[in-house]
Structure 1
């Protein structure tokens, strides 16, 4: 009886062990079949939301002065300069004789050309009479006539060269460059002088896309410069470029009267006050959010803990912030730190 009891106890223990083992195996299988936890590697970044801000914008731009007119005096013919009637800094007027080039060789060429043209004119008269008497052909008369016309044209050309040897100022102004001296030989198209007209000051500057739409042709502009503290020069917008350059800026020119006793010289830096203070609602993001240059600006936008790179168009910069003209909207979150480890579609976690 005792033997049977022991055998039954052993069997019960074996069964209990088997049941325990099966339960343990089921638990392991359940853990394996259970959904896995999120083990995706997320890149830690810092981010900020795009925010709108109202700014008072006072348009004062820096520009530089260019001559109202600038003209080069070129030698129209080759020859030796017999007379040079100007010096550096001289004031000249339009049409004034500045230089005279030796034309003695041209005079000899003219005599030869005139002699040849006279002979051909006599030949033409002779052959025309012979044609009337049927002693010459029409073809021969046409040939002689063409030769005469060519010779007459050569005479006219040499006369024009002799006339051009007296060189006159193409515009009024000041002689700013004198690269030659009297007595030297110059070739045709050689540079004899540069004339700068400063009767008006031409201010050249660049405006951004946002700024250029606030400026109108003929608008009055106040010009100041550090050279003449406390003085103002009045100008008007004379030109607004219809097309942006490669940096997305628009060239603008302003014509200002040059005051006696306070002459503005070419190359001087000036400030152009457009006297237009406006309040604008603009979208701003931190400057460090840009992943490229301002020309090819782009940012990483965080959506559902994943970044997407978006190109944007930028405007003015303001104390570490930069205006976004297009590309993202108010409230969108942009990455401001950690972009070097990112690409489009990278999961991220935003750290404080």
Structure 2
């Protein structure tokens, strides 16, 4: 009999051990549903200035951290000979432009000769008129009067010749200026993409190559962008992209500031699938003003839905088929529930439970 009692006692003990339970009192809390995304942080507007062909990097005129102005030259690609040719053409344009000016040496010298010729023409014309009148009164000979008239005609011709020469020289110098400009324009067009200029007033974030190094086609040489404003470039799995909308809040962390959370707002969804990663790129404007570092990696949660005062239970307490063990006195009863959003270790209960209910989970189930 004692043996039977001992066996019965051991059986009860085993049952008690197997039926150990943990409990949770159902309560309300704020519950967020989020989509995970990863990516990097970048300036709000940024530009990679690249080589448009394989070329030698002749000169880098900036360093990382420099503030630059729009259209400022940052780097020059090409060969020394090409650069020298461009310099010569620029000098030729400057010289031709100087020569074509109204006060250039050549035109000024001709203007002085024209002024003298005009004075002589006027004086000789007056002298011819005077001699003609004197010849009529026999004060001078007709021969002298004729010589005066010939001299006046010669002076007038010389004056007209100098005027024509001035106009011809002016056209010639203007033509040389135009030709020099056309040659420079052709050279500039041929060197398009070899003189890298900043497209914005901004900051140099990265210089990828040094003077004298060879840049291959499409190699980035300099990265510039707007300072102080940043955005996230995130990749979202194709299975989640339908949940993403502009205006949604983003909470992210970056390795540069470990353990610190920042916020952003979705403002752009690029509707093109990236086949390699089976994901879509979305962008978010960063609200925080911390000193971020471009191309730093980030991990983010995009807030899809938020429930205030949602009735929630730990996800471990939810069984297959969306049911829980509801404690009623000393008994446990399986009860069906209707679930809502899920967030991490928590599940929203839309119906089937109320605040204050106690649910249980059997350990080792």
Higher relative contact order (CA 8 A, sep 6+): 2
**TM-score range for the pair, normalised by the shorter chain length:** 0.3 to 0.5
**TM value normalised by structure 2:** 0.39
Structure richer in helix, relative to its length: 2
**TM value normalised by structure 1:** 0.40
